[in-house]
């Protein structure tokens, strides 16, 4: 038995095998009875049992094998899709998968609004220069873990490129966005990168945008990115998610 299949997948394999074999046995019984009635007075009990057992004995292994291979193929396809959508370093969604999922979510209006946070590591070039690119990769992994640990269930987390991450929250207003952003910022600011007796505290700057109605990812990202730039300009290690008139009001009509 292929242990790479999940428990639910094995349940589906056995259930489908049982359904196919059960239907085949019933059909075999009906057909055999019709034939025997045409030739004589019908089947006796041993004949009925034999007509139902033959599909199980002859077809059972073949049906089980086909269902198993089908489940293995479906699982392999699922893993390939997940791999294609995942950033290799941080295990977050990659940019393409993140933007696609956000655009789909934004396509349906939500009375409670939507929020996008754009998160950028502060002084990341200094970290790479000071500690090396290998430690820089470890920092990105630490940041990604801290982000995932401090968002809500169902929120989307993606790596947008380099040291920049995105968090999309469906059904979130500015208060929720600010709360989640601050939680992420504080969690990351409690982390350090260390090497050969040198330590540097990590920090991120976060820009957020919220909007009620239907809007595309590109426009929401533009506003969040502007606020990220402003957070950097004001000294970094801060969250900026104030309401902005820059969002296209016509899109909510």
Checking if the pLDDT of 251 tops 50, the result is no
Note whether 99 and 80 are same-domain residues.
no
User: Containing domain of residue 106, as a range?
Assistant: 95-252
pLDDT in tens, 25-58: 778 777 776 777 666 766 667 767 777 777 777 6
Are residues 107 and 216 part of one domain?
Answer: yes
Give the pLDDT of residue 111: 53
66 versus 102: which is more confidently predicted? Answer: 102
pLDDT tens digits, residue range 119-162? 999 999 999 998 999 999 999 999 999 999 999 999 999 999 99
Q: What is the biggest distance separating any 2 CA atoms in the chain, rounded to whole angstroms?
A: 96
Query: Which residue in 145, 163, 164, 212 is the catalytic one?
Result: 163
Mean pLDDT of the chain: 83
The pLDDT score that the predictor gives to residue 107 is 78
Q: 86 burial class (0-12, 13-18, 19+ CB within 10 angstroms)?
A: middle
98-104-109 Cα angle (round to 5) = 125
What are the φ and ψ backbone dihedral angles of 6, each rounded to 5 degrees?
A: -75, 165
Q: What is the pLDDT of residues 75-101, one digit of tens each?
A: 666 666 666 779 999 999 999 999 999
Residue 251: is it exposed, middle or buried by C-beta count within 10 angstroms (0-12/13-18/19+)? middle
- pLDDT, residue 243, reads 55
Decide if 90 is inside a domain: no
Local confidence band at 2 (pLDDT 50, 70, 90 cut-offs) = very low
Domain co-membership, 56 together with 36: yes
Q: Does one domain contain both 125 and 180?
A: yes
Calpha distance 90→56 (Å, rounded): 49
- Whether residues 112 and 50 share a domain: the answer is no
Examine the residue annotation and report whether 163 is marked as an active-site residue of this protein. yes
The rounded distance, in Å, linking the Cα atoms of 86 and 92 is 6
Question: What count of residues does the chain have?
Answer: 253
Q: Which helix (H) or strand (E) holds 233?
A: helix 217-233
Strands 192-195 and 156-161: unpaired
User: Would 114 be classed as within a structural domain?
Assistant: yes
Look at residue 116 in the predicted model and tell me its pLDDT: 96
CB 122 within 8 A of CB 205: yes
Which residues fall within 8 angstroms of residue 106, CB to CB, at 6 or more apart?
114, 214, 215, 216, 217, 220
Q: Check residue 60 and give its pLDDT.
A: 73
Six-digit token string for 65: 């094998």
Q: Which two tokens stand for residue 170?
A: 């469906």
Q: Which residue, of 32, 64, 84, is where some domain finishes?
A: 84
Same structural domain for residues 107 and 76? Answer: no
In this structure, what is the dihedral angle of CA atoms 183, 187, 190, 194, given to the nearest 10 degrees? -150
C-alpha distance across the termini of the chain, in Å: 56
Does the pTM surpass 0.85? The reply is no
Token pair of 241 as six digits: 């998610």
């Amino acid at each position: 038995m292929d242990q790479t299949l999940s428990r639910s997948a094995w349940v589906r394999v056995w259930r489908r095998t049982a359904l196919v074999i059960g239907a085949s046995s019933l059909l075999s019984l009906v057909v055999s009875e019709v034939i025997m009635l045409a030739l004589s007075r019908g089947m006796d009990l041993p004949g009925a049992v034999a007509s139902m057992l033959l599909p199980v004995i002859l077809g059972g292994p073949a049906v089980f094998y086909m269902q198993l291979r089908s489940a293995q193929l479906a699982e392999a396809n699922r893993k390939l899709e997940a791999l294609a959508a995942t950033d290799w370093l941080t295990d977050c969604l990659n940019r393409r998968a993140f933007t696609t999922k956000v655009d789909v979510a934004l396509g349906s209006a939500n009375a409670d609004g939507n929020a996008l946070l754009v998160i950028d590591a502060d002084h990341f070039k200094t970290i790479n220069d000071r500690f090396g690119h290998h430690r820089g990769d470890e920092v990105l992994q630490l940041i990604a873990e801290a982000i995932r640990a401090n968002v809500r269930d169902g929120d989307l987390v993606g790596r947008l490129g380099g040291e920049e991450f995105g968090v999309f929250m469906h059904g979130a207003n500015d208060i929720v966005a600010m709360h989640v952003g601050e939680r992420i910022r504080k969690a990351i600011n409690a982390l350090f990168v260390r090497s050969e007796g040198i330590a540097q505290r990590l920090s991120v700057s976060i820009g957020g945008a919220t909007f009620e109605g239907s809007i595309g990812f590109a426009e929401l990202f533009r506003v969040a990115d502007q606020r990220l730039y402003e957070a950097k300009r004001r000294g970094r290690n801060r969250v900026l998610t104030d309401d902005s008139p820059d969002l296209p009001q016509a899109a909510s009509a």
